[in-house]
């Protein structure tokens, strides 16, 4: 299986072009994780990929393209971790996989077209590389020393007088996924942009008016509003800092 994660959206032809490359290599089992990573934000892609990859079967190849530095000297890499492969740019997108084995992708290999676009390495480098790995063709992989780690995600796991967290993701319903573990629900208050969230409930339906916290499905506390978008109420964004205090 090959799984796709990009910031391409679905307005343009880019996702289809990735899939056409995979089809040309005989790969038909392709699963979309998301194509709505915040544009040009590898760290957001890192969180989404990190939060879900372990649910996939061993041998899955993750083709991940969030690449604001496309065409520059940042390296094309493949990383092997926990019986999974990750293929994409070495720009922090795979920081969570730094304990894996990292390989440089040699684009001089005949697998890759000599007419490579400097603005679409997803199609011309990463998709063929992912297909090659899936098909057990690995001659283009050259062992390297490791990944570039750019701000790996830190989760708030224990209660202290004051800890710092952040908004890692805003889902399609406007719920704010924080970096605070569910185990702290009911024991902490969260403050961001001067707004303090105190109330917590086990379901969305239990909440009244205003903002409250619920245990998120990714094991992280979410800031939500019943039948409203918490992101609109707070006018916040991915990466906004959170102060976590003992209740």
What are the sequence ranges of the domains in the chain?
2-143, 162-246
Supply φ then ψ for residue 127, to 5 degrees.
Answer: -65, -50
What is the pLDDT, as a whole number, of residue 188?
96
Structure tokens, 69? 């530095």
**Residue ranges in the chain modelled with pLDDT below 70:** none
> Which strand (E) or helix (H) includes residue 220?
strand 220-225
Dump the DSSP string for 111-128.
TS-SS--TT-HIIIIIHH
Angle at 45 between CA 64 and CA 205, to 5 degrees: 130
What integer pLDDT is reported at residue 56 of this predicted model? 97
- The CA angle 149-103-124, to the nearest 5 degrees, is 95
Q: Are 9 and 38 in contact (CB under 8 A)?
A: no
Per-residue pLDDT at 208: 85
Nearest to 34 by CA among 164, 171, 239: 171
Considering only CA atoms, which of 101, 97, 104 is closest in space to residue 125? 104
Q: Which residues is 5 bridged to in the sheet?
A: 34, 64
For the stretch 170-217, pLDDT in tens is 999 999 999 999 999 999 999 998 999 999 999 999 988 899 999 999
* HSE toward the beta carbon, residue 58, CA cutoff 13 A: 2
pLDDT at 31: 98
**Largest Cα–Cα separation, the chain:** 61
Pick the CATH number of 162-246 from 2.60.40.420, 3.40.50.720, 3.40.50.1110, 2.40.30.90: 2.40.30.90
Give the CATH number of domain 2-143; options: 1.10.760.10, 3.40.50.10790, 2.30.30.100, 3.20.10.10. Answer: 3.40.50.10790
Q: How does strand 241-246 pair with strand 188-192?
A: antiparallel
Query: Tokens 């205090």 appear where?
Result: 245
């Amino acid at each position: 299986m090959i799984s796709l994660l990009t910031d391409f959206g679905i307005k343009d032809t880019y996702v289809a072009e990735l899939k056409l490359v995979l089809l040309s290599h005989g790969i038909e089992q392709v699963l979309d994780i998301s194509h709505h990573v915040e544009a040009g934000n590898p760290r957001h892609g890192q969180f989404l990929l990190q939060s879900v990859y372990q649910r996939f079967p061993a041998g899955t190849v993750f083709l991940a393209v969030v690449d604001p530095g496309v065409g520059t000297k940042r390296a094309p890499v493949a990383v092997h971790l926990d019986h999974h492969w990750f293929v994409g740019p070495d720009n922090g997108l795979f920081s969570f996989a730094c304990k894996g084995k990292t390989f440089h992708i040699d684009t001089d290999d005949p697998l890759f077209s000599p007419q490579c676009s400097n603005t679409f390495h997803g199609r011309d480098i990463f998709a063929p590389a992912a297909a090659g790995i899936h098909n057990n063709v690995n001659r283009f992989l050259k062992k390297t020393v490791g990944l570039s780690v750019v701000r790996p995600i830190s989760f708030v796991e224990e209660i202290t007088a004051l800890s710092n967290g952040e908004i890692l993701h805003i889902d399609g319903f406007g719920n704010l996924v924080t970096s605070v573990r569910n185990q702290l629900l009911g024991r902490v208050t969260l403050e961001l942009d001067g707004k303090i969230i105190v109330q917590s409930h086990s379901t969305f339906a239990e909440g009244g008016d205003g903002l409250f916290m619920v245990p998120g499905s990714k094991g992280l506390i979410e800031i939500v509003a019943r039948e409203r978008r918490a992101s609109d109420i707070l006018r916040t964004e991915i990466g906004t800092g959170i102060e976590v205090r003992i209740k």
